[in-house]
């Protein structure tokens, strides 16, 4: 019997589909593999030194620096952390078209840099700064070369070929900046520099050789290991010689504060100017960490200031010594002594080059400053110069040499001044002692503030300012003086003074009393001549409790008889009932609005004007007698002519009248002619009250003898033009 299989339930077929995996999980295995592969590839390229990056790196550096960059055939670079390259040669091309470029003898532009057997290291931060145009010189971590040629050029407008990318032009008064190095090894280098703002053209040979610790204490000679620089050229068309030597360990140009300081000396001769520096430094190319003594001399401080990027005045010949220190961007100078002409100065100064505009601070002191030694700063010839060296135009006496205004924008300053003596340049006047003040320079604004000078029991106070920012610089002065005893201040003595009770002649001057006054002036110009020719303002002066020489008064009035009598019996002093003046200045013309000297004997009035623009005088002095004189040639006296050749002469018209009268009387009797020369006593009139009322501050100062002090007239008070009563000529 055939057995048939029994019926069974049907089974579902088994599934053969694999479990589903998400794509991101697969990527999780692939990404590490790719990174590992890239890391291995990068390490391999670092190992073989990326030879295929030569041309791309040249292109990228050329874009950053804005000029061609070419490496030699033997080339290798590593990029981890910084760019470290080596090549048998490297060049950075000249500046772009119309940029500052040096040319060779054939007129072909020279490369900015060319080097052979080069090892260099550059940080990415430095490259980024160059690309952004920060204006700083390129900074190398390492530069090791057998031969290096640097060609540096700065145009008069401040654009320099050591500025790359979009850097702004350097300030025309700033010093040129060389590339910086953390480590520099240079077997044979040549640096050519043409700096038009500083008027420097020089070539220098530069070599470095590794030294030893023992060499650091050895005397420096040409064979001593270290840095050696020998340069020659011109500075302001005068011969220039530069020598720099160091001994000891490298690195020679490091910014590390812990770097060992090595001995060094620097010797610079530029024309008649010489500078010698002896000491130590950690960064010899930039004098970092320097501590050294210095000795300098030359025809003017301005030439040294230009080379250092410091605004210093034009002066007479100088010689100075002291100590220099530098930490980072800050220079400290302790000037033990500075002789400028006959001046004897000293000081302590700090110059910070870190800010965008460098800052000078410190103090200036000294035993004596002669005003004549500062004359060159205002255009005058140095005191030791021949007379033919005048900076005034022919036939003029006021200097017209242009001031160095642009240098006032090269830095800011805040310097305190305390001088024991300011010599006014003449033995006829007592010097100011002491002189104190504060010199500030901020954004082209130069100010002498809190000026205080004492002399002859009195003092001078005020402020003087210069704004160099406008195309035509503007000047202001606000000065006040008081209590200056004229018999001490003016040293000229009258030898014909009457004997006193003891029978001896006192040492008395021609004028005495307490001088006071003030001046508010403003002007504009870039030379002394232009400034004085534009002056506007008011000046006032008065003398309190004063006396004046009797013989001087009679001589001014051309009173022959009385002058002769005073001369025979001896001069005496006439008390001045008032002596005061007020001058208005308009476009350099000085006009006496009031000028009165009143005594019991005579009243003297002065009018007319003098012009600082044309350098000419036209003044007239009139004497009005208060007493009888049998023999007088009373006539106004005029002072006329140019400053360099003025003339003093009596006014002819009154003399002609007297002469005519004398001739007519002589026809009657020869002796009657003398009657024309008789001056009869005139009624004395009070001119002082009107004069004192006209001059602001004179009443309060007691300018009228015997007058009680009263407040000055309000500024708004109407005042008539001063006009004393007319008297006979």
Residue 675 banded pLDDT, cuts 50, 70, 90: very low
- pLDDT tens profile 364-399: 999 999 988 887 777 777 666 665 566 667 778 888
* Domain residue ranges in the chain: 39-198, 456-694
| Dihedral angle sign, alpha carbons of residues 49, 52, 55, 61 | negative
Tokens for 172, please give them.
């025309």
Average pLDDT over residues 333-352: 94
Average pLDDT over residues 574-578: 87
Higher-scoring residue by pLDDT: 455, 498: 455
pLDDT at 671 over 60: no
Of 608, 659, 609, the residue nearest 634 (C-alpha): 659
What are the angstrom distances between the C-alpha of 356 and each of 176, 195, 260, 364, 442? 15, 20, 30, 25, 13
3-state secondary structure 194-219: EECCCCEEEEEEEEECCCCCHHHHCC
Average pLDDT over residues 458-482: 94
Percent pLDDT > 90 in the chain is: 32
Place of tokens 């006296």: 637
At 711, give phi and psi (nearest 5°): -65, 150
Higher-scoring residue by pLDDT: 343, 300: 343
Tell me what pLDDT residue 250 has: 47
Tell me what pLDDT residue 396 has: 81
pLDDT at 501 over 80: no
Tell me what pLDDT residue 510 has: 79
Average pLDDT over residues 553-558: 56
Tell me what pLDDT residue 272 has: 86
At 85, give phi and psi (nearest 5°): -125, 155
Q: How far apart are the first and last CA of the chain?
A: 184
Tell me what pLDDT residue 571 has: 57
pLDDT at 563 over 70: no
- pLDDT tens profile 694-726: 888 888 888 887 543 333 333 333 344 455 544
**Quick check: 65 and 89 in contact, CB under 8 A?**
no
Average pLDDT over residues 403-421: 87
Higher-scoring residue by pLDDT: 682, 137: 137
Cα distance between residue 426 and residue 416, in whole Å: 26
Residue 589 banded pLDDT, cuts 50, 70, 90: very high
Tell me what pLDDT residue 124 has: 87
Average pLDDT over residues 347-359: 91
250, with CB counted inside 10 A (0-12, 13-18, 19+), is buried
Cα distance between residue 451 and residue 436, in whole Å: 6
Tell me what pLDDT residue 495 has: 62
Higher-scoring residue by pLDDT: 3, 580: 580
* ω into 313 cis (within 30 of 0): no
pLDDT at 136 over 80: no
- DSSP line for 452-479: EEEETTEEEEEEEEEE-SSSS-EEEEEE
Higher-scoring residue by pLDDT: 190, 559: 190
Higher-scoring residue by pLDDT: 176, 26: 26
Residue 341 banded pLDDT, cuts 50, 70, 90: confident
Q: What is the pTM of this model?
A: 0.73
**Quick check: 207 and 224 in contact, CB under 8 A?**
no
Of 86, 95, 141, the residue nearest 115 (C-alpha): 86
Average pLDDT over residues 269-277: 90
pLDDT at 551 over 80: no
Least confident of 47-51, 569-573, 628-632, 643-647: 628-632
Of 519, 357, 528, 380, the residue nearest 445 (C-alpha): 357
Tell me what pLDDT residue 575 has: 86
- DSSP line for 601-651: SEEEEEEEEEETTTTEEEEEEEEEESS-BSS-----EEEEEETTS-EEEE-
Mean pLDDT over each residue of the chain, to the nearest integer: 79
Residue 247 banded pLDDT, cuts 50, 70, 90: confident
- pLDDT tens profile 437-450: 999 999 989 999 99
pLDDT at 181 over 70: yes
Cα distance between residue 382 and residue 375, in whole Å: 7
- pLDDT tens profile 297-316: 988 888 777 666 677 788 88
Tell me what pLDDT residue 96 has: 85
pLDDT at 400 over 70: yes
> What are the b/e assignments for 90-119, b being 16+ CB within 10 Å?
bbbbbbeeebbbbeeeeeeebbbbbbbbbb
> Strand 359-370 vs strand 412-419: parallel, antiparallel, or unpaired?
parallel
Cα distance between residue 496 and residue 445, in whole Å: 51
8-state DSSP, 83: E
Place of tokens 């021609």: 510
pLDDT at 659 over 90: no
Of 201, 199, 203, 135, the residue nearest 171 (C-alpha): 135
Average pLDDT over residues 630-635: 53
Average pLDDT over residues 489-515: 72
| Dihedral angle sign, alpha carbons of residues 652, 653, 657, 658 | negative
Residue 249 banded pLDDT, cuts 50, 70, 90: very low
């Amino acid at each position: 019997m055939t057995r048939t299989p029994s019926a069974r339930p049907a089974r579902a077929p088994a599934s053969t589909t694999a479990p589903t995996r998400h794509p991101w999980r697969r990527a999780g295995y692939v990404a590490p593999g790719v990174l590992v592969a890239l890391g291995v590839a990068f390490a391999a390229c670092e190992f073989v030194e990326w030879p295929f990056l030569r041309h791309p790196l040249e292109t990228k550096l050329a874009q950053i620096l804005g000029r061609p960059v070419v490496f030699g055939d033997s080339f290798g670079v590593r990029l981890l952390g910084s760019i470290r390259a080596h090549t048998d040669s490297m060049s950075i091309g000249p500046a772009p078209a119309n940029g500052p470029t040096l040319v060779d003898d054939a007129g072909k532009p020279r490369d900015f840099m060319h080097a052979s057997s080069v090892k260099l290291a550059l940080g990415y931060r430095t490259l980024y700064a160059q690309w952004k145009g920060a204006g700083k010189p390129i900074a190398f971590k390492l530069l090791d070369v057998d031969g290096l040629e640097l060609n540096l050029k700065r145009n008069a407008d401040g654009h320099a070929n050591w500025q790359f990318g979009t850097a702004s032009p350097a300030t025309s008064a700033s010093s040129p900046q060389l590339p910086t190095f953390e480590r520099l090894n240079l077997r044979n280098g040549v640096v050519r520099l043409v700096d038009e703002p500083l008027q420097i053209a020089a070539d220098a040979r530069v070599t470095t050789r590794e030294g030893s610790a023992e060499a650091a204490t050895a005397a420096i000679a040409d064979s001593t290991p270290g840095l050696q620089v020998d340069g020659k050229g011109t500075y302001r068309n005068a011969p220039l010689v530069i020598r720099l030597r160091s001994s000891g360990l490298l690195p020679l140009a490091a910014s590390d504060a812990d770097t060992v300081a090595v001995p060094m000396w620097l010797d610079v001769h530029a024309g008649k100017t010489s500078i010698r520096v002896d000491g130590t430094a950690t960064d010899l190319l930039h004098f970092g960490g320097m501590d050294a003594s210095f000795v300098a001399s030359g025809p003017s401080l301005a030439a040294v200031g230009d080379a250092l990027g410091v605004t210093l005045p034009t002066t007479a010949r100088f010689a100075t010594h002291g100590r220099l220190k530098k930490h980072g961007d800050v220079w400290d100078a302790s000037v033990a002594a500075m002789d400028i002409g006959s001046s004897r100065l000293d000081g302590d100064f700090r110059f910070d080059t870190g800010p965008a505009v460098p800052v000078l601070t410190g103090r200036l002191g000294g035993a004596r400053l002669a005003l004549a030694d500062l004359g060159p700063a205002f255009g005058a010839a140095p005191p030791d110069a021949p007379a033919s060296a005048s900076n005034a135009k022919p036939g003029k006496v006021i200097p017209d040499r242009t001031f160095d205004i642009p240098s006032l924008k090269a830095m800011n300053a805040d310097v305190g001044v305390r001088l024991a003596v300011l010599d006014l340049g003449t033995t006829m006047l007592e010097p100011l002692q002491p002189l104190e003040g504060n010199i500030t320079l901020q954004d082209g604004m130069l100010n002498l503030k809190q000026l205080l000078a004492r002399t002859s029991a009195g003092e001078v106070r005020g402020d003087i300012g210069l704004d160099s920012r406008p195309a035509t610089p503007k000047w202001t002065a606000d000065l006040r003086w008081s209590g200056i005893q004229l018999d001490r201040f003016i040293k000229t003595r009258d030898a014909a003074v009457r004997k006193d009770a003891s029978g001896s002649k006192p040492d008395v001057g021609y004028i005495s009393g307490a001088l006071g006054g003030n001046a508010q002036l403003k002007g504009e110009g870039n030379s002394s001549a232009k400034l004085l020719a534009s002056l506007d303002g008011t000046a006032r002066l008065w003398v309190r409790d004063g006396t004046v020489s009797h013989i001087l008064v009679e001589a001014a009035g051309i009173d022959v008889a009385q002058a002769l009598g005073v001369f025979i019996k001896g001069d005496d002093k006439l008390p001045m009932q008032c002596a005061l003046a007020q001058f208005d200045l308009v476009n350099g013309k000085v006009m006496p609005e009031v000028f009165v000297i009143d005594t019991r004997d005579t009243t003297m009035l002065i009018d007319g004007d003098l012009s600082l623009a044309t350098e000419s005088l036209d003044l007239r002095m009139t004497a009005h007698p208060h007493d009888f004189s049998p023999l007088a040639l009373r006539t106004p006296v005029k002072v006329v002519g140019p400053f360099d050749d003025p003339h003093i002469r009596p006014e002819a018209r009154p003399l002609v009248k007297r002469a005519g009268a004398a001739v007519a009387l002589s026809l009657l009797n020869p002796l009657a002619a003398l009657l024309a020369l008789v001056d009869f006593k005139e009624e004395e009139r009070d001119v002082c009250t009107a004069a004192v009322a006209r001059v602001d501050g004179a009443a309060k100062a007691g300018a009228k003898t015997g007058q009680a002090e009263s407040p000055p007239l309000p500024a708004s008070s109407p005042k008539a033009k001063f006009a004393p009563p007319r008297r006979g000529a």
